[in-house]
Amino acid sequence: MKFKIMILGCLLLALALPALAQDSVKTVEASAIPAISPPAPATNVTAMDSPNDNGHSLTLRWTLSADDGAGQKTVLGYKFLRSFFPDSGFVLREGMAPSGSSEYVDMGGRKPDDRDFMPNDTDYYYIVRAITADSNVYSDSPVIGPVKAVGQLYNVGRTLVLVFVLCFAAITIFFIRRARKGAKLFVRRLAGIEAVDEAIGRATEMGKPILYVLGLGTAADIATIASFTILGRVAKKVAEYQTGLIVPCYDAIVMTVAQETVRTAYLDAGRPDAYNDDMVYYVTSNQFAYVAAVNGTMLRQLPATNIYMGTFYAESLLLAETGALAGSVQISGTDQVAQIPFFVVACDYTLIGEELYAASAYLSREPILLGSLKAQDYGKAAIIVISILGIIASQFRWNWFLELFKAGN
Amino acid sequence: MNIFDRLMTLDRRWVFLFVALVCVITYAIPFTIKLNKSPEVKAVYNFIDTLKPNDVIFVAVDYDPSSLAELHPMFYAIVEQAFRKHLKVIFSALSQNGPAMVDQVIKAVADSVKQDGTYNGVFYKGRQIEDGVDYTFLGYKPYPALIILAMGQDFRIPFPTDYYGKPLDSLPMMRNIRNYDQVKCVVELSSGSSSDMWITYGQSRYNFPLALGLTGVMSADYYPYLNSGQVFGIMGGLLGAAQYEALADNPGEALDGMRIQVYAHLVIIIFIIMGNIGFILARRKARKG
Amino acid sequence: MKRQVPLMLVFTLALVMIVQYFVPNDFSLDTNEFLLKWIIIIGIFAMALGIWSLIRVSYEKIRRRVPGWQYPIATLLGLAAMIVFGFDYGRHFYTQEGLENYMFIHLFQYIIIPIQATMFSLLAFYIASAAYRAFRARSVLATVLLLAALIVMLRFNPYLGTFGVYLEKTTSWLLNVPNLAAKRAIIIGLGLGAVATALKVMLGIERAYLGRD
Amino acid sequence: MNNSRIWSIVIFAAAVLIFGLSWIIIGSQAGHNLTDAFLVTVAAFLTLSILSFLYKDNPYYKFAEHLFVGVSAAYWMSVGFWSTFVGNLLPRISPSLCTYFGVPYKGFDIFFFIPLILGVFLLMRLSSKMGWLSRWSLAFIVGTTAGLNLIRYLRSDFISQVSNTFVPLVTDWRGIGPFFSDFSLSITGQFAMSLSNWVIFVGVFCGLIYFFFSKEHKGAFGYASRMGIWVLMITFGASFGYTVMGRVSLLVGRLTFLFHDWLGLVK
């Protein structure tokens, strides 16, 4: 008997199910968006000037609405209304904070003709609005204010950088002074740079010129500045050996500086008459047009040595392979990490990364420049120590230490 | 000059010639190559393949035209597979430059589905794809995080009308569909931060199955999500796209591209090996002599 | 005057830029903005020097009838055409979209673009020849280089079966782990080198760029 | 007449024939006119001229190269002139020049005279007497950017890279992960994660040791430095191999231009 009732029940249920399903579908159709009751508002709203900036920005904080992620779970996020008066004139701001966030930075333009200009030292009042899926259902917090945006004189978030700058500058100056006093400094061998002297000698024997490529950097790039120094040393040797020098340039300012550098080098070598401005010439500021021209020069003038020092991009391999085809000895160095592999593969000698910066000091053997190398080494040692401390800190969760190194923007 | 020396000091123009020949031949002659399929791509394909007719999937197209080469093929292959299998698809485009591109792809796939076709040995009759019946294109709205959150409540909140201006309620296929709960899975094709948003604001809040199609450089960063189960499949870059095309038996631009890549790589590898054989044998000879 | 003023300029301006970084207020931002704008404007004058150098070198080649003297004529013609079209119709720069000139745009589209793209594509050949020439097991280090490259290049080879899948995983590990470590070491070193060089420039120790009388 | 001269004439004739035919054939097709057929033909000629460099340096390459240099130099000059000189400088110094060039005048600003003067100083290079003035301009540029770069490198390349090495070498043990089952080397499994963290730490450490200049690389120091160069070499090999794919794609782009856009052979 029981069994029969159960079967009957099941049958009934089976029959009813589609109908039930139909029903639920109908409800969806009838009211696409179910009615939402207004959520609880955000509470404990505070507004303050955003720290470490030029003003024109205020930071709002609040405690989540009771219906945000809990309760009815209807809150989608928060929007913000701003006014110059405590009781009227509130305007909805453009941005919003998604649900779950309890902080928002309201930022405006900096200059009077900027879009959404937000003057400093003016009173502002805010309302935080918890919004739901239905744009008509929301709830507002009480008005908060007045609050003023002001610019700061010092960015506390950048203290770490300041400490680094000061320490590093102090170490560098210390070693440079010590070097000036005549302390002996050891510098390890850099194969790429020792090859330069050899290569110039070889060029002289063969009666062929040396091609010096400064890369695509501008005079503003540190790698290009380092390259100028190396160019100076190379040019001086070239002048002494009476070999030819070709310096095609990608950037007009770089050309100007390079001319000055080479002219000085020839002067130092006591052969100012051998210099002429056409040794250092401008080609074009189009990456591949520049490469096309330099490649052509390599195959037509067959330089004994090609030196690539500075900032290089995709053209690194185009240049280095053509140079290899022309049978030139090739020495390279760049600060572009992505291009080092191509130079390593295609050139005879490559200065990897920091070695480029060490090269100028190494070539000159001037104690002052060598002093700064020593400072760089101390910098690396410091980094290694800090890294080990950081690893220990993260292993044992010393969060205060890790926070120190979360660099501000 | 013996053979070893010759292997070692081959004029590089031979290398150029072979690279050029192989690239031109593989470019001009359309043949398909067999690819290894990685499990994370297979997972996406199998998931969609085992869905039943009239199931709904959501395809979020959030890439810019700049990464079109890698992500377009995935988009084509998935949409075609879905339409062939009579699945219904909802599209959204949360990248500003996306909507026109999405519209164009939908139209192109719809055209191709009109013809009969056989995929993996199964014959599919050509059919007319209708807007509002087989697919819905929601279009673009700013603030992706908010849109993803809001769609979890109801698609109609951020998109009361679709891309073409028709109210969602007027579309037959949207009648039973309110939010992610009625969708079998979300496939997110991304070239930027939108994939993070789909994970944090979408998947972890509303718990739907999520698959990612990413550019080659991005894909490695998302494997942890695969392991934690937040994402059930990942297609990375041109290779991922080609694997998907191969799985779907629907060769397109990605497989074409990979065919050239595979053989170009092979030529280079063969030259490297030849050079090394020559080098090692020559050195051995020099030691003996 | 000739020497001291430039060195003082360098020191003062570098110091201003460093201090500027730590001061977030409007005055500091304006200073930064002005200085950077000025550099760009000075750059335009340098451009004139560059073009002058290009014209002079080309002209000299033609005048002295060096071998291949005919080709610089193409340079000068292209230069002249582009300058004329650019300057004549560039007036529309601020009224219409960009440098609206039929010839200017078409010279760009049908000369600059195809040559540029082709030069770039030569890399496909050069990467092959460089690999052939350089990837030899000459030494232990060269072998390491060679093996890493081979693993990565074989990563999607379909003829290796399941072994290919392992190669793919190894590749992604190589790119994510040792690659990250090496790049980090290089970047930290580069950063230190760059900071030291900038300091030397600021202090007037490195001044090859200023020349000498 | 020697052999090479005959050959060059034959090649030249063939080139004229091919590109002439191409112009006429493309131009006569539906949807094309003689102008755009000419332009596509020119682009194809230049493309092939550049590719011919792979065989050897030749007159066609030389022509394309020289033309490219001239056109591109003037292009940058024009764009720079209009966007910077006319766009940024003139609106601040001269109302009459603004009307002439059709840019809105933004009001006189004495600050914009400084770059103008420095720019003119730079041009003084061309005079041998006043050439030293150009150094003031150079000093201005180098000084400003040295300060800027000093900070930039410290901030972006440095502190973030250093703090990113702060990862625990022993991760919380939650099982071995899929390392042995499916050889998952991605940083997911617990074992692989710890291993990877170790490799990163050792790699960075040894890499930095390699870059020590003022200490001789001997003994333990030498071993670490050797290890560092190993890690560097693995990286260089892998990066090289990884780039091949992108470079081949570039070539495919050119093939598409030649076979599809120009010859119309491949769909």
A340/B193: higher pLDDT: A340
Query: Same domain for A274 and A319?
Result: yes
Range of the domain at D129: 112-164
Partner-chain contact B150 A325, CB within 8 Å = no
Neighbors of chain D by Cβ distance (3+ pairs < 8 Å): A, B, C
Compute the mean pLDDT over every residue in chain B, rounded to the nearest whole number.
Answer: 90
Q: Which residues in chain B have their CB less than 8 angstroms from residue C175's CB?
A: 220
pLDDT tens for each residue of D204-239: 999 999 999 988 888 899 999 999 999 999 999 999
Query: Same domain for D211 and D225?
Result: yes
Name the residue among B145, D89, A262, D36 with its Cα closest to residue C39: D89
**Interface ipTM:** 0.89
Would the pLDDT of A16 be above 80? no
Would the pLDDT of A403 be above 90? no
User: What is the pLDDT averaged over residues B18-22?
Assistant: 96
C182/B5: higher pLDDT: C182
User: What is the pLDDT averaged over residues C52-60?
Assistant: 95
Would the pLDDT of A14 be above 60? no
- pLDDT value at residue D202: 94
Is residue A33 assigned to a domain? no
Chains A, C: CB pairs < 8 Å = 204
Is residue C208 within 8 angstroms of chain D, CB to CB? no
Quickly state the pLDDT bin for B188 (edges 50, 70, 90). Answer: very high
Is residue D56 assigned to a domain? yes
User: What is the pLDDT averaged over residues C168-192?
Assistant: 89
Q: What top-level class would CATH report for the domain B35-250?
A: alpha beta
Quickly state the pLDDT bin for D126 (edges 50, 70, 90). Answer: confident
Any idea where the domains of chain B sit in the sequence?
35-250
Partner-chain contact B38 C165, CB within 8 Å = yes
pLDDT tens for each residue of B263-284: 999 999 999 999 999 899 888 8
pLDDT tens for each residue of A73-131: 788 889 999 999 998 889 999 888 888 889 999 988 888 888 889 999 999 999 999 98
Cα–chain center distance at C113: 18
Quickly state the pLDDT bin for B65 (edges 50, 70, 90). Answer: confident
- pLDDT value at residue C92: 61
User: What is the pLDDT averaged over residues B38-55?
Assistant: 93
Q: Lowest-confidence range among A151-165, B59-73, C197-211, D186-200?
A: D186-200
Q: Lowest-confidence range among A303-312, A356-365, B170-179, C66-75?
A: A356-365
- pLDDT value at residue A359: 87
Q: Lowest-confidence range among A50-54, B17-21, B237-241, D103-107?
A: D103-107
Is residue D65 within 8 angstroms of chain A, CB to CB? yes
Range of the domain at A172: 156-176+370-404
Is residue D240 assigned to a domain? yes
Q: Which residues in chain A have their CB less than 8 angstroms from residue D215's CB?
A: 186, 188, 377
Is residue A2 assigned to a domain? no
Is residue D153 assigned to a domain? yes
Query: Same domain for A393 and A340?
Result: no
B230/D69: higher pLDDT: D69
- Please tell me which of the candidates A261, A286, A353 has its beta carbon nearest to residue C211: A261
Q: Per the structure, how many domains does chain D have?
A: 3
Chains B, D: CB pairs < 8 Å = 45
Q: Which residues in chain A have their CB less than 8 angstroms from residue B175's CB?
A: 25, 28-29
- pLDDT value at residue B227: 73
In chain A, % of residues over pLDDT 70? 91
Name the residue among C167, B264, C175 with its Cα closest to residue D238: C175
In chain A, % of residues over pLDDT 90? 51
Query: Same domain for D8 and D77?
Result: yes
Q: Lowest-confidence range among B153-167, B185-199, D77-91?
A: D77-91
Model confidence, pTM: 0.88
Query: Same domain for D104 and D7?
Result: yes
Query: Same domain for A197 and A217?
Result: yes
- pLDDT value at residue B43: 93
Q: Lowest-confidence range among A221-225, A361-365, B69-73, B185-189?
A: A361-365
- pLDDT value at residue C212: 65
pLDDT tens for each residue of A169-202: 999 999 888 888 877 778 888 888 888 888 888 8
Would the pLDDT of B202 be above 80? yes
Neighbors of chain C by Cβ distance (3+ pairs < 8 Å): A, B, D
Query: Same domain for D18 and D105?
Result: yes
**Distance, CA of D249 to CA of B5 (rounded, Å):** 33
3-state secondary structure chain A: CHHHHHHHHHHHHHHHHHHHHHHHHHHHHHCCCCCCCCCCCCEEEEEEECCCCCCCEEEEEEECCCCCCCCCCCEEEEEEEEECCCCCCCEECCCCEECCCCEEEEECECCCCCCCECCCCCCEEEEEEEEECCCCCEEECCCEEEECCCCCCCCHHHHHHHHHHHHHHHHHHHHHHHHHCCCCCCCCCCHHHHHHHHHHHHHHHHCCCEEEEEECCCCCCHHHHHHHHHHHHHHHHHHHHCCCEEEEECCHHHHHHHHHHHHHHHHHCCCHHHCCHHHEEECCCCHHHHHHHHHHHHHHHCCCEEEEEEECCCHHHHHHHHHHHCCCEEEEEECCHHHHHHHHHHCCEEEECCHHHHHHHHHHCCHHHHHHHHHHHHHHHHHHHHHHHHHHHHHCCCHHHHHHCCCCC
Would the pLDDT of A208 be above 90? yes
**Chain B positions with Cβ closer than 8 Å to D:** 13, 16, 20, 23-24, 27-28, 39, 69, 220, 223-224, 226-227, 238, 257, 260-261, 264-265, 268
Is residue D169 assigned to a domain? no
Would the pLDDT of B196 be above 80? yes
- From the CA of C103, how many Å to the nearest CA of chain A? 19
Q: Per the structure, how many domains does chain A have?
A: 3
In chain B, % of residues over pLDDT 70? 99
Quickly state the pLDDT bin for D32 (edges 50, 70, 90). Answer: confident
Any idea where the domains of chain C sit in the sequence?
138-204
Q: Lowest-confidence range among A380-394, B214-228, C88-102?
A: C88-102
Quickly state the pLDDT bin for A213 (edges 50, 70, 90). Answer: very high
Is residue D170 assigned to a domain? no
CATH number of the domain enclosing A235: 3.40.50
- pLDDT value at residue D190: 66
C93/B148: higher pLDDT: B148
Quickly state the pLDDT bin for D109 (edges 50, 70, 90). Answer: confident
Compute the mean pLDDT over every residue in chain D, rounded to the nearest whole number.
Answer: 86
- Please tell me which of the candidates D125, D155, D165 has its beta carbon nearest to residue A407: D155
Q: Lowest-confidence range among A69-73, D55-59, D262-266?
A: A69-73
User: What is the pLDDT averaged over residues B211-229?
Assistant: 82
- From the CA of D142, how many Å to the nearest CA of chain A? 6
Partner-chain contact B279 C161, CB within 8 Å = no
